[in-house]
Amino acid sequence: MMWTTGDITPVREKGEQLFRPLLDRLDAELAQRRWWFGDDWSIADTYFWWACINSEFGGFDLSGWQNIARHRADNEAHPALQRALAREAAAEAALPGKMG
């Protein structure tokens, strides 16, 4: 929706058409392991989390992929991501003219 000045419907439809098979594959991969590279969290996991939240921000419903949802929840519970989000929130709150 950010890359068109016209009707976003065909862009969204084509994106969903291309994205669904990829999500099916990613969901199947994540059924095999907790983190992208196995038992250990890596920055790749947080990058995938970021892609998921941006997809949802764009209106793409990810609720049909249970392993992706579990991976997202695991990321959001991970201390490294929690610390990064807290730093980001604090920096945003400190911006001039920002309330709260």
Q: What does 44-98 look like in DSSP terms, one character per residue?
A: HHHHHHHHHHHHHHTT---TT-HHHHHHHHHHHHSHHHHHHHHHHHHHHHTSTT-
Tell me what percent of the residues of the chain surpass a pLDDT of 90. Answer: 65
Cβ(88)–Cβ(53) under 8 Å?
Answer: no
| pTM: predicted TM-score of the whole model, two decimal places | 0.79
Both tokens of 48, joined, read 């995938």
Separation CA 97–CA 47 (nearest Å): 30
Match 């695991």 to its residue by tokens. 74
What would the pLDDT profile of 30-71 be if each residue is shown by its tens digit?
999 999 999 999 999 999 999 999 988 888 889 999 999 999
